[in-house]
Each structure stands twice: as structure tokens, then as C-alpha cells.
Amino acid sequence: MSDFMERMLVDRTGQEIGTVDDVIGDPFDLQPEWLVVKLGRFAGEHLVPVAVVEDQGDRLVARTDKEHVKSSPKVKQHTAPMGSERDAVYRHYGIAS
């Protein structure tokens, strides 16, 4: 999971979204499921599903832009969202849960 840590997340055009501050694994198989992305000093931390991120070696590329990440729920604790919260985040990113 540390492969994602402290890496910059960018959108498809190369615009910076934020820095990966933590990686949260699936509670059942511990595979990386969520990235906690810090958008800036005042924008807070937001969850981004690993499913919408492509690792291109030197950078992580999201299938979304910074404003879409910014409008996702802020991270309260660095734990995997459960139940309706998980479903809501997946819906926000257009992923069937």
C-alpha cells in the first residue's frame, strides 16, 4: 500500500489534484481500496477510490478532476467507509457498489 503514499494525484490533463496522505485497505482482503487525498492546506482530505486511479509509474492519474474530488465527502477518520457512506462515495465517483 505504501506504493501510493506521498504521491501526487493528477487529472487526465496533468493538473494536480492533491497528495496521497494515506491508503485504506479493504477490511476483508486488505487490498488498497481508498486513497486519502489532501487537496491543500484548507481544502481538507477526501476519499478517492483506487478504482478511479491509474498508476502510470511516475504519477497517479484520476479519471476525475479536482473539483469533483473536492465535492466528495471529507475524511473524518482514516478508516474504510461502511454501509451507506461507502455507497454514497462510490455513487459520487460513478462506481456501482
Between strands 45-49 and 32-38, the pairing is antiparallel
Query: What is the bridge-based pairing of β-strands 60-62 and 8-10?
Result: parallel
pLDDT tens for residues 58-86? Answer: 789 999 999 999 999 888 889 888 899 99
Give the pLDDT confidence of 20-33 residue by residue, as tens digits.
999 999 888 989 99
Q: What share of the chain is helix, strand, coil (3-state, %, to 5)?
A: 20, 35, 50
Spell out the domains of the chain, with CATH numbers in brackets. Answer: 8-92 (2.30.30.240)
pTM of the model: 0.90
